[in-house]
Chain A
Amino acid sequence: MEKEVGAVEESPVVLPLFGFLDVTGEVVTMILIVVFTAVVSLLARRLLRERPGKVQNVLEMAVESLEGFFAGLLGPEKARRHFGYLGALFVFIVLCNYSGLMPGVGVFDWLKAPSASLSVTAALGVATFLFLQAAALLSGVGDYFRRFVSPMFFMLPLVLLDEVIKPVSLSLRLYGNIFGEEMVVRQLYGIFPVGPPILMMALSLLFCALQAVVYTLLVSLYLDEATEPLEPRPRKQRKTKTLAQSLEGGLK
């Protein structure tokens, strides 16, 4: 198989599994992240006390500030309703981005930053696309179909295109940012191994969190747009009079 062009590299398989379920380094890292979050949340649930300890305090503060962030964008009711997906998305993306900064990740084939791979971010984009469609459908089937033709019927192709472009641009943005950062760090390392890469990595501490914020911010804006009830269509004045009106007119 010939090598793909630059950015879209194939990552080496570390655990062959029937050919179509091959496990790559990104998948291993993602599984580790999922196990880590699951263990932390299970432990935190086990440690729930009336008088919170350290762990509970930190986690409660994190969850509350996250919910406050979504409530500021969506309003408290919708934020509460969709917090499961949005919060999980945020936590997962943050951990994926930060996993690239751990020593050893990206050096061996076994561990790789998941969000520096287009396949992972594309999968996140597909999941987000399905989530948005489902949320819009659940908030009102009639509104869902009317939104495609909302101001005018000829908006249909544009709206359809928009629905497809949303996940594509989300996944390309996340992938490009994380991948670009990694490449910049690598190039800087090649030029001068001691000083500049650390500066860039310190900057990427900021950018990694920012990318997760931006991703979830955009998803919740799309969600707000998609689940907002449409204002009822202005009724056109009927040209044909009703039977009673015409009878009245005739009688006069």
Chain B
Amino acid sequence: MTSSAIIGIAAGLVIALSTIFPALAQGKAAKAAMESIARQPDAAKDIRSALILSLALMEALTIYGLLVAFMLIGKI
């Protein structure tokens, strides 16, 4: 296997793994937020801002993966 093939596989793996797990976590967070909004509609505003913050922090992990994948692609 040439080194560029290895780099290609690595870039694919990076973006795949760093999408799968934050996506699962974001699903969990959104589920919990929706449940608590349904239980307590008055608190929807606070819950929404906390949800957006936590989603953004999880999204950052995916973005780091994306950047690393781009860097790897650039090395081919």
Chain A bound to chain B: yes
User: Cβ of A6 and Cβ of B53 under 8 Å apart?
Assistant: no
Please tell me if the beta carbons of B56 and A176 are within 8 angstroms of each other in the complex. no
Alpha-carbon distance A175/B66, docked complex (angstroms): 11
A210-B52, A217-B53 are known contacts. Are A7 and B63 too (CB-CB below 8 A)? no
Stretch at the interface among B24-32, B34-42, B68-76: B68-76
Asked if B21 is at the interface of the complex by the 8 Å CB criterion, the answer is no
Known A-B contacts A169-B60, A173-B60; the reply to A7 vs B67 at CB < 8 A is: yes
Q: How many residues of B contact A (CB 8 A)?
A: 16
Shortest Cβ distance from residue B18 to the other chain A in the assembled complex, whole angstroms: 11
Q: Indicate whether A127 reaches chain B with its CB closer than 8 angstroms.
A: no
Neighbouring A residues of B52 by C-beta, 8 Å: 210, 213-214, 217
B56 / chain A contacts, CB cutoff of 8 Å: 173, 210, 214, 217-218
A6 pairs with B64, CB closer than 8 A: no
Residues of B within 8 A of A217 (CB): 49, 52-53, 56
A residues in contact with B60, CB < 8 Å: 169, 172-173, 176
Contacting residues, chain B, for A214 (C-beta < 8 A): 52-53, 56
Q: Are A183 and B70 in contact (CB under 8 A)?
A: yes
Chain A residues positioned under 8 Å from B66 (CB to CB): 176, 180
Binding site for A on B (CB under 8 A): 49, 52-53, 56, 59-60, 63-64, 66-67, 70-75
9 nearest A-B pairs in the assembled complex, by CB-CB distance: A6-B74, A176-B63, A214-B56, A7-B70, A5-B74, A173-B60, A6-B70, A180-B66, A7-B71
